[in-house]
Amino acid sequence: MSVLFYIGALLIVIGGICDLFGALGLLKFPNFYVRLHAATVGTIGGAVVPLFGVALLALGADFLPHRYAIAGASFITGIIVLLAAPAGAHALAYAAHKAKLVEWKPKVDHLKEVRE
Amino acid sequence: MRGKGLITAVIILTFAALMTYAVVSLQVFSEGTGVRPLGEFYLENSYFGDYSAKSPEVVTSILWDYRGIDTLFETAVFFLAIIGSLTIFRLTKEQEKEVKKVESAPTELTPIVKDVTKVIVAMILAVSASIALHGHLTPGGGFQGGSALAVAPLLIIAAYSKYALEKNGLDKTRALILRSIGLLGIALVALVPLLSGGFVMQNQPIFPAEIGGQLIGGSLIYYNFFEFLAVGAGFTAVFLLLSIPEEKFKKILEVKK
């Protein structure tokens, strides 16, 4: 077992912690936009980081059969989630802002012109 | 309100503790060492025997080999479901053209979403092809790969519009042709063994188990590829149909009255 194994395991633990914080934020934050931030912490920190962790862990584990296949699959899945999650969050926030569904008191609103 | 949350927390924690106890102490998931008689039968008939599929992925070889007729009818059920939905929304040639016409500029999502969709659609195509074509080696197969493939047109419909898909050549008719090619391929591969004196959907020893040193599992890779095509294109046809605006449909129905 090389150092990659331990880095991967650490990343998986970090992912678990991010998931916990994301869930707490989703329950406790005051409005839609801040909750969306917590949800993104859950997807990027709680899904992408542990997927990369699994890839590193599989590369470092000599005893594992088909470890290159496992590493490749989790790496690709991680990349896809890494691309899709921010775009999805962006689309949600944009739609909520445009539909004026969320009540909020912003300090700065750079998207004001889109709303009219 | 507070008490309710507490009860839920207690139930979840108790359940988690019981599950951990069951897995760690009672060892409900460990089956000891060695292969059981049933597992031996499956391995013998999927990987090692002369009349097996020569594929290490036991589930796929069972599905497309000695349980093959059942899978064939399963595919037929899916095929009939799609035919049924297309019949409900049946359109004449002129109505088809009317439906494809863009009246006002379709609303598309922001550039960020559109660009990410472009990248992800390419990746989805690669991943779904890998799921389907490695179906004889890893979990997955034709149906799973085809379902993943159908996500690509769905994302394009969501981020761009139905018309963007049709403008680039993938309309309902083409999707149906692709799906028919897939179904025809499955039927032909199923009938090929009859030519060399085998029975319907026989795999070994009629199809070569390896090509150029690569294990392809006899007929499994052909079945998986055609099923991939049939399922992906079938779902695409239904998605294209469902994304026709309701107003247009209502207008067409009124004209007929």
Q: Sorting pLDDT into bands at 50, 70 and 90, what band is B244?
A: confident
Packing angle, helices B68-88 and B220-242, rounded to 10: 20
Nearest-CB residue to A80 (from B109, B123, B138): B123
Determine contact: A24 vs chain B, CB below 8 A. no
pLDDT surpasses 60 at B114: yes
Q: Sorting pLDDT into bands at 50, 70 and 90, what band is B2?
A: low
CA distance B172 to B50: 43
pTM as predicted: 0.82
Mean predicted confidence (pLDDT) in A31-58: 93
Amino acid symbol at B60: T
Cβ of B113 within 8 Å of Cβ of A84? The answer is: no
Mean predicted confidence (pLDDT) in B108-131: 92
Determine contact: B127 vs chain A, CB below 8 A. yes
Cβ of B117 within 8 Å of Cβ of A69? The answer is: no
Chain A residue closest in CA terms to B119: A83
Determine contact: B1 vs chain A, CB below 8 A. no
pLDDT surpasses 60 at B257: no
DSSP letter at B26? Answer: I
What does the pLDDT read at residue A90? 92
Cβ of A83 within 8 Å of Cβ of B117? The answer is: no
Domain residue ranges in chain B = 56-253
CA distance A18 to A24: 10
Determine contact: A91 vs chain B, CB below 8 A. yes
Interface test with B, best of A76, A82, A92 (most B CBs within 10 A): A76
Token pair for B254: 């009124």
ipTM given for this complex: 0.78
Determine contact: B119 vs chain A, CB below 8 A. yes
Cβ count near A47 (within 10 Å)? 19
Residues of A in contact with B138 (CB under 8 A): 69
Mean predicted confidence (pLDDT) in B4-8: 88
What does the pLDDT read at residue B100? 82
Average pLDDT, chain B: 86
pLDDT surpasses 70 at B12: yes
Mean predicted confidence (pLDDT) in B154-167: 90
Token pair for B80: 């009939």
pLDDT surpasses 90 at A41: yes
Cβ of A90 within 8 Å of Cβ of B113? The answer is: yes
